[in-house]
Structure 1
Amino acid sequence: MNLRRLRSFVALAEELHFTRAAAKLFVAQQSLSKQIAELESDIGTPLLRRTSRRVELTPAGEVFLAAAREVLARFDQGVAEARRVGQGEQATLRVGFVVGAALELTTHILSEFTRRHPAARVELQEFGFADPSAGLAGATTDVAFIRLPSSTHGLMATPLFTEPCVVGVSASHRLSSRDRVRVADLLGEPIAIGRTDDSMWRDFWTLASHRRGRRARNLVETRSQSEEVEVVAAGMACSVTPAAARRYSPHPGVRFITIEDHPGSVVAVAHRSDRRNPLVASFVDAATAVRDREPGILRMIQGTPGNR
């Protein structure tokens, strides 16, 4: 099996016409037919059905087409990266993240990746509430630290840890002196929520699964973490948020209280399933390696701290 046969098969699968596919590849139709026959022989099963009127993919051909496209894309990306490096340019990995990234694991992960790839250039970009995918949905990043649950259509996510949730309330709020609350204590409260079209993300942070199908009322939309904190401090709304808000978003007018019965938020390293950058797999490997060797940091992140 070789790349020439894969390219021949992909071209024919896209055109579903031997003459057009041969013209696209700048080869004779007889040569294309031979490439396809040899490929089917290598694999051991028909990939196409041929009749006098049409060409169509077999079920095996449909499966193989996805694999062939991925192999060719990775190979072409590798060639492009190798050429850039050979010409003195650095290979670049675009890393997106939402607020907090991977918390205290972030610097360890970045250090581990740069240790493995000292010649690579890492470009970091933070994304606000509007894009929980941290640039992956629009392909402006190669890999990202995201929070689940959120819409992950077309993405592959590797969980790193699960963090407890807390509710932020103003210092004068009726619940501010409590150490712990239950979701039932919050269902009648106005909730601050980031402005986004991701319904899964919105539902989680507005406690939708606890509302028995009823829509949350009195939602206050915000565009950033700092804006959300100010809204809470002013007593305009409460905010369901990760426990790390205590460390990353402290405010003298806000109290963070542990929520006993709401699931934790999962932090994951994610990438597109059709990824093109060969550095992505290495970044994911570095992230999981750091996660596995830092149990102390994980225990601190995943613990359920008391109120401050």
Structure 2
Amino acid sequence: MFDLNQLRCFVTVAEELHFGRAAARLNMTQPPLSRQIQVLEHIIDAPLLERTSRSVRLTPAGRSFLPEARRILKLAESASQVAHRIAMGKTGSLKIGFTAAAAYGFLPELIAACRAKLPEIDFSLKEMVSGDQLEALASGQIDAGLLRPPIARPDLASRRVLAEPLLAAIPKKHPLATAEALSIKDFDSQPFIMYSPYEARYFHDLLVSQFSRAEILPRYVQHLSQIHSILAMVRAGLGVTIVPAAAASLKIADVKLRPLKLRTQNPVELFLVWPREHENPLLPALVDIASGIAASGTPKD
């Protein structure tokens, strides 16, 4: 089979129709150039050039072979460039898992920043609960995840990218909706739309710890996993709830969001997590971009 150097020699001679000029373009002498053309013709088993002492012309086979030779060279160059850009972390694909609440704020900001700095990256995004993300990271189904703590896995690296406050979510006509801010004790004995202890374990356990610390007991009237579904129940007047600040972007009608006074100002944490040993050269760039967003916008405890 012919090689790329032979094709390059043939294309250059075909464009110049002169061995001397072609050899100069290729930074070589005429004898080795002529040998490359001869070897190529032998491999193809057809003459590609008609040579005389005065001129060089393409044969019919040469005219037919020229566009194909150019196409092969272009494909080879493109493949080389793609491989180089992937190795340099400038192109390729990233599979990212995320919790539903991450999509309300941090995830869109992260993807927008990545597209601005690395426009050739393809993203595959998959909404998953934190536990499923940890398993997907271990099995290689995703390259990185935006998930909730705890992350006690020695094979995984992590970086906190968001710490945000909790907000009280109150039906518009509820007496508490008129307050400028609420305390956790205001929820004592209130009908409360609670997070599922399984699908939304992080928020469930976070609120249970807050209620226990304040020595109060809301009346749980429903357990749901998705924040938008929980707020829909609040809108219907079925109870009150507590949501992360990012949920304000949902702008649910007839639901009033009020600041919540807590000992910890920003208790809701989100982490970017990725395997310590990985083969995706894009991951360092993703971590750097996420860290930059966190450093510039994440409130501090």
2:232 maps to: 230
Counterpart AA for 2:294 = R
Inter-partner Cα distance in structure 2 for 1:215 and 1:184: 9
- Superposition pairs of residues 174-189 of structure 1, within 5 angstroms: 174-189=175-190
SS in 2 for 1:151: coil
SS in 2 for 1:208: helix
The percent of aligned pairs where both chains have the same amino acid is: 17
Alignment equivalent of 1:136, drawn from 129, 134, 152: 134
1:221 maps to: 223
Assess if the C-alpha contact under 8 Å between 2:97 and 2:126 holds in 1.
yes
- CA change 1:235–1:224 in 2 (3 A) is same
1:291 maps to: 294
Assess if the C-alpha contact under 8 Å between 2:97 and 2:133 holds in 1.
yes
Assess if the C-alpha contact under 8 Å between 1:126 and 1:134 holds in 2.
no
**Greater helix fraction, Structure 1 or Structure 2:** 2
2:251 maps to: 250
> Structure 2 length as normaliser, TM-score?
0.57
Consecutive unaligned residues in structure 1, runs of 5 or more: 1-80, 304-308
Inter-partner Cα distance in structure 1 for 2:200 and 2:247: 21
1:261 aligns with 2:259: no
Assess if the C-alpha contact under 8 Å between 2:172 and 2:255 holds in 1.
yes
Inter-partner Cα distance in structure 2 for 1:227 and 1:110: 25
Counterpart AA for 1:153 = A
1:279 aligns with 2:282: yes
Inter-partner Cα distance in structure 1 for 2:227 and 2:246: 12
How far did 1:176 drift? 0.8
Consecutive unaligned residues in structure 2, runs of 5 or more: 1-81
Q: Please identify the structure whose Cα radius of gyration is greater.
A: 2
How far did 1:168 drift? 0.5
Assess if the C-alpha contact under 8 Å between 1:167 and 1:259 holds in 2.
yes
Write out per-residue CA displacement over residues 258-277 of structure 1, whole angstroms, 9 at most, x where no aligned residue. Answer: 11115321233222445553
- Superposition pairs of residues 7-46 of structure 1, within 5 angstroms: none
Write out per-residue CA displacement over residues 38-58 of structure 1, whole angstroms, 9 at most, x where no aligned residue. Answer: xxxxxxxxxxxxxxxxxxxxx
> Structure 1 length as normaliser, TM-score?
0.56
How far did 1:178 drift? 0.6
How far did 1:180 drift? 0.5
Matched pairs, number: 207
2:205 maps to: 203
Assess if the C-alpha contact under 8 Å between 2:193 and 2:240 holds in 1.
yes
How far did 1:218 drift? 1.7
1:156 maps to: 157
Assess if the C-alpha contact under 8 Å between 1:180 and 1:257 holds in 2.
yes
RMSD across aligned positions (CA): 3.4
- CA change 1:258–1:111 in 2 (3 A) is closer
Counterpart AA for 2:130 = P
Inter-partner Cα distance in structure 2 for 1:153 and 1:105: 23
Inter-partner Cα distance in structure 1 for 2:192 and 2:294: 32
Inter-partner Cα distance in structure 2 for 1:262 and 1:236: 28
SS in 2 for 1:135: helix
